[in-house]
């Protein structure tokens, strides 16, 4: 238990008739980069505000560093929040913004100066310390917001959509930088975002929320490779689905019967725990795990389906194909752009879609 930084225990929070957070229990470890991922209205922002102390749970409790946060106001919590729109003080300089928290805690002048200078250096803003926030670019403002929180050495740093307002290129650079800073300072980061790539790139562990409930917690790889539900699978990237039932069970393999596909084409998959013959299941497949080819027979794959290319989209790094399978099922496939002699498929072309048994994730319905 010593390595638990934040312990959310069965927390319920309602806003009027809406249950924003519904019996949420979550443990965040010391020094980890933890992301809470979910669509808007999933309760992730409310969770963050409960941690910061701007709202209080109707039920349950939150422990930070083992101490109950019940009735503890935000200014007495060992956490600092990086606000979504940065919420910098427009009337204070970069230095004034960053030193605000230290001044409030009456840190001696010399120590204050050296601590502010250290974080200014860390976020590469030393030369701009006398500017006002309005004189900074979006990326610089973001770094001031980060520095303003980090300088206080909080036990937990909370980030609300930290990169949401930045453009794509800057966002990707900042993902790397934020992760590097987190590793450097070793503080627990809890980041709320609706941006799945951001969460996967930066986090040690990710929690997926929807409608106030926790759906799955795990490493980015676990979340992506073995989603616990089709909501998670579809929220984290794109998934192709097939709905059917188990026709035969054979040790670690099962045959899945999908209505609409030809009888002979039972899909070979790994059965979910506790499933029996006749259990309804959903098969999930990532678009980049599909193999497309014109060859009628090709060794090394467990499954093959006939499909027709309905659209071919070139987006630089890869080709995206929209496939139409039998019975109006529509899938997506992604093929990396290998350049050179790589053959591309044209709309209208008939192809075979292939994958091995381990690429598919089967969920009980």
Total count of residues recorded for the chain? 365
Tokens of 331: 């899938």
Q: Residue 113: phi, psi to the nearest 5?
A: -60, -45
Which one of 3-11, 17-25, 86-94, 325-333 is the stretch in contact with another protein (CB under 8 A)? Answer: 86-94
Q: Is 138 in the site for another protein (CB under 8 A)?
A: no
Which one of 15-23, 68-76, 173-181, 275-283 is the stretch in contact with another protein (CB under 8 A)? Answer: 68-76
CA distance to 4, 215, 292, per residue, from 230 (Å): 30, 11, 24
Distance between CA atoms of residues 84 and 193, nearest Å: 10
Tokens of 2: 């010593």
Q: Is 54 in the site for another protein (CB under 8 A)?
A: yes
Closest CA to 21 of 38, 4, 5: 38
Distance between CA atoms of residues 265 and 267, nearest Å: 6
How many Cα neighbours within 13 Å face the side chain of 166? 21
- Find the shortest distance in angstroms from Cβ 101 to another protein: 4
What residues between 142 and 171 interact with another protein by CB under 8 A?
148-149, 152
Which one of 48-56, 115-123, 220-228, 255-263 is the stretch in contact with another protein (CB under 8 A)? Answer: 48-56
Tokens of 58: 């109707």
Q: Is 128 in the site for another protein (CB under 8 A)?
A: no
Count of residues that interact with another protein, criterion CB under 8 A: 28
Q: Is 91 in the site for another protein (CB under 8 A)?
A: yes
Q: Is 206 in the site for another protein (CB under 8 A)?
A: no
- Find the shortest distance in angstroms from Cβ 167 to another protein: 22
Which one of 101-109, 202-210, 219-227, 295-303 is the stretch in contact with another protein (CB under 8 A)? Answer: 101-109
Q: Is 132 in the site for another protein (CB under 8 A)?
A: yes
Q: For another protein, which is the closer residue by CB, 111 or 130? A: 130
Beta-bridge mates of residue 303: 355
Q: Is 196 in the site for another protein (CB under 8 A)?
A: no
Beta-bridge mates of residue 350: 308
Q: Is 105 in the site for another protein (CB under 8 A)?
A: yes
Q: For another protein, which is the closer residue by CB, 16 or 251? A: 16
Angle at 77 between CA 69 and CA 45, to 5 degrees: 75
CA distance to 80, 211, 283, per residue, from 24 (Å): 21, 11, 28
Residue 184, Cα to own-chain centre: how many angstroms?
22
Q: Is 87 in the site for another protein (CB under 8 A)?
A: yes
Q: Is 209 in the site for another protein (CB under 8 A)?
A: no
User: Where on the chain is the footprint of another protein (CB under 8 A)?
Assistant: 52-54, 73-76, 79-81, 83-85, 87-91, 93, 100-101, 104-105, 130, 132, 148-149, 152
């Amino acid at each position: 238990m010593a390595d638990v930084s934040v312990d959310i225990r069965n927390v319920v929070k309602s806003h009027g008739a809406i249950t924003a957070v519904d019996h949420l229990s979550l443990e965040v470890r010391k020094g980890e980069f933890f992301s809470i991922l979910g669509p808007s209205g999933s309760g992730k922002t409310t969770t963050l505000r409960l941690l910061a102390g701007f709202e209080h749970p109707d039920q349950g409790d939150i422990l930070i560093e083992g101490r109950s946060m019940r009735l503890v106001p935000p200014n007495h919590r060992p956490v600092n929040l990086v606000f979504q729109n940065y919420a910098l003080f427009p009337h204070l300089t970069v230095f004034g913004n960053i030193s605000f928290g230290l001044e409030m805690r009456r840190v001696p002048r010399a120590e204050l100066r050296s601590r502010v200078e250290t974080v200014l250096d860390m976020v590469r803003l030393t030369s701009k310390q006398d500017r006002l926030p309005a004189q900074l670019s979006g990326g610089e403002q973001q770094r001031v917001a980060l520095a303003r929180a980090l300088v206080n050495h909080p036990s937990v740093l909370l980030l609300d959509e930290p990169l949401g307002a930045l453009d794509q290129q800057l966002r990707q650079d900042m993902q790397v930088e934020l992760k590097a800073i987190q590793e450097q300072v070793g503080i627990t980061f809890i980041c709320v975002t609706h941006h799945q790539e951001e969460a996967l790139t930066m986090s040690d562990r990710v929690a997926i929320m929807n409608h106030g409930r926790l759906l799955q917690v795990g490493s980015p790889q676990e979340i992506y490779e073995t989603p616990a539900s089709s909501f998670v699978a579809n929220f984290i990237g794109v998934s192709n689905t097939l709905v059917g039932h188990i026709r035969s069970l054979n040790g670690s393999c099962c045959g899945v019967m999908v209505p609409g596909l030809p009888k002979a084409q039972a899909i070979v998959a790994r059965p979910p725990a506790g499933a029996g013959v006749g259990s309804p299941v959903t098969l999930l497949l990532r678009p980049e795990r599909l193999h497309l080819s014109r060859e009628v027979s090709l060794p090394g794959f467990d499954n093959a389906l006939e499909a027709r290319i309905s659209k071919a989209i070139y987006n630089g790094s890869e080709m995206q194909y929209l496939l139409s399978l039998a019975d109006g099922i529509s899938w997506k496939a992604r093929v990396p752009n290998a350049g050179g002699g790589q053959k591309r498929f044209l709309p209208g072309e008939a192809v075979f879609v292939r994958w091995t048994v381990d690429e598919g994730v089967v969920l009980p319905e």
